[in-house]
């Protein structure tokens, strides 16, 4: 890599944080109440309103929110939960935490998302739930999945970790599932450092998730510390400490306010990539499906055998130009943690193909014209097989 390229390295992503987040944090510090309290409540209310759902329950991460979602859905030992292998490992892990069995299903070759057909192929007599994922922010086609799952009385859990701001048939993703979960890790669209959220229209599930995340205490910490004489508390079942802090929530509230601007910029960057890269032989670009819009949390491309170089070759060319791209979405069934487990026997051909051929290009709010042009020209040069 040349010295110039080192100086102007382009990361695959970069969170967009500023003065407003710093001020919000300072206010919480000054207030003296830094653990879960009024800011978490405010963030939950604003998030629920933004997603068009009745209840939002904040958690320490999307992974812990997913654990809570499966718990409130009543999943336990002996149950099968269908999940895509083509997802971040947390999707399968959460099922394993409950003592249930993740059963891997394949994905649509175009969107990279599960479909009613791929889920159907993985159903067993013990299937109690399915975790559907809006992979990289591309919305999944929920309606046919709902029909299938309603017929078999299977709970639909939506892992919308990457998908805040993505839409399905004109409304935010997640709203049509029984329960959905979201991530605020810096790799995602909005960040609180670490953090997650569970959303649902079911009041009973929201209430149980609230107590489970706080050791299943009968009285929340906020209520216990409010009055001078605290009421006695009881521990109703074995719970967890999956709380978000008010420090995180204060940042989350500011970030949520930035969402429209963040979305507009990401879609603008995606459009620039499409304009610069479409028509290249052997390259397929992620795009909006006919029924929804992506937030372009990930802008991925598929490198076909007819392209000028392999996926690994293209990653190297990008690295030489100071561009940090990433291999596409992982496949859990190929990881040591799951390789030797019994995870069903559905065919995972499309999963393996996408796992082998896709890569993710840089997209972040402050990516400038020079950066985008460098990404585009490096890929065009690789397509032509020319030396950079």
Ligand X SMILES: *Cc1c(COP(=O)(O)O)cnc(C)c1O
Cα separations in angstroms, 385 against 221, 284, 308, 377: 62, 17, 5, 12
Question: Does 56 help bind ligand X (rule: CB under 6 A)?
Answer: no
User: Is there binding between residue 115 and ligand X (CB under 6 A)?
Assistant: no
Under the binding rule (CB under 6 A), the answer on residue 174 touching ligand X is: no
Q: Which is nearer to ligand X, 63 or 166 (CB)?
A: 63
CB of 40 within 8 A of CB of 244? yes
Nearest approach in angstroms of CB 292 to ligand X is 17
- Inter-axis angle of helices 246-277 and 38-51, nearest 10: 30
Catalytic hit among 14, 39, 188, 339? 188
Q: How far apart are CA 229 and CA 12, in angstroms?
A: 52
Closest by CA position to 80, among listed 17, 114, 131: 131
Closest distance to ligand X from the beta carbon of 229 (Å): 38
Shortest Å distance, C-beta 179 to ligand X: 14
Size of the site for ligand X (CB under 6 A): 14
Q: Applying CB under 6 A, which of residues 40, 162, 247, 262 lies at the interface with ligand X?
A: 162
53 vs 161, which CB is nearer to ligand X?
161
- Catalytic (active site) residue 188: yes
Long-range contacts of 279-287 (CB under 8 A, 24+ apart): 280/307, 280/379, 280/380, 280/383, 281/306, 281/307, 281/308, 281/383, 282/306, 282/307, 282/308, 282/383, 283/307, 283/379, 283/383, 286/112, 286/136, 286/138
Neighbour tally for 175: CB within 10 Å = 20
Residues between 58 and 87 with contacts to ligand X, criterion CB under 6 A: 61-63, 87
Q: 199: how many CB neighbours lie within 10 A of its CB? A: 29
Where in 126-155 is the site for ligand X (CB under 6 A)? 133
Ordered DSSP codes for 334-361: GSHHHHTS-------HHHHHHHHHEEEE
How far apart are alpha carbons 70 and 75 in whole angstroms?
A: 6
Nearest distance in Å: CB 101, ligand X: 18
Q: Does 213 bind ligand X (CB under 6 A)?
A: no
Contacting residue, 10, 72, 83, 90, with ligand X by CB under 6 A = 90
Least Cβ distance, residue 196 to ligand X (angstroms): 5
Among 159, 178, 214, 302, binds ligand X (CB under 6 A): 159
CB of 91 to ligand X, least distance (A): 5
Indicate whether 158 belongs to the interface with ligand X (CB under 6 A). Answer: no
Under the binding rule (CB under 6 A), the answer on residue 196 touching ligand X is yes
Return the number of the residue (183 or 293) whose C-beta is nearest ligand X: 183
Residues within the interface to ligand X (CB under 6 A): 61-63, 87-88, 90-91, 133, 159, 161-162, 183, 185, 196
The residues assigned a catalytic role are: 188
């Amino acid at each position: 890599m040349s010295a110039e390229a080192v100086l102007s390295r382009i990361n695959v992503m970069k969170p967009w944080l500023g003065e407003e987040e710093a001020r919000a944090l300072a206010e919480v510090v000054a207030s003296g109440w830094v653990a879960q309290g009024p800011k978490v409540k405010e963030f939950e209310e604003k998030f629920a309103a933004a997603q068009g759902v009745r209840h939002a329950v904040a958690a320490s991460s999307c992974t812990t929110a997913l654990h809570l979602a499966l718990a409130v859905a009543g999943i336990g030992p002996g149950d099968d939960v269908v999940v895509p292998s083509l997802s971040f490992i947390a999707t399968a892990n959460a099922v394993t935490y409950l003592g249930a069995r993740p059963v891997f299903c394949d994905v649509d070759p175009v969107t990279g998302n599960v479909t009613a057909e791929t889920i159907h192929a993985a159903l067993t007599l013990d299937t109690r739930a399915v975790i559907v994922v809006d992979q990289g922010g591309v919305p999944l086609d929920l309606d046919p999945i709902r029909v299938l799952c309603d017929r078999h009385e299977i709970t639909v859990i939506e892992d919308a970790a990457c998908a805040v701001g993505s839409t399905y048939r004109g409304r935010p993703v997640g709203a049509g599932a029984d329960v959905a979960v979201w991530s605020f890790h810096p790799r995602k669209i909005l960040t609180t450092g670490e953090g997650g959220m569970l959303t649902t229209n079911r009041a009973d599930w929201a209430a149980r998730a609230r107590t489970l995340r706080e050791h299943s205490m009968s009285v929340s910490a906020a209520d216990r510390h409010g009055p001078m004489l605290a009421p006695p508390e009881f521990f109703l079942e074995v719970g967890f400490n999956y709380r978000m802090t008010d420090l995180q929530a204060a940042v989350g509230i500011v970030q949520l306010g930035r969402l429209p601007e963040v979305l507009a910029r990401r879609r603008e960057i995606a459009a620039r990539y499409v304009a610069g890269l479409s028509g290249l032989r052997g390259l397929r670009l992620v795009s909006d499906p006919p029924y929804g819009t992506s937030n372009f949390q990930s802008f991925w491309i598929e490198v076909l055998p007819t392209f000028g170089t392999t996926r690994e070759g293209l990653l190297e060319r990008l690295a030489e130009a100071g561009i940090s791209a990433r291999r596409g979405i992982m496949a859990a069934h190929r990881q040591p943690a799951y390789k030797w487990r019994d995870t069903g026997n559905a065919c995972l051909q499309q999963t393996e193909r996408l796992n082998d051929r896709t890569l993710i290009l840089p997209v972040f709010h402050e990516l400038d014209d020079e950066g985008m042009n460098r990404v585009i020209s490096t890929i065009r040069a690789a397509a032509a097989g020319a030396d950079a």
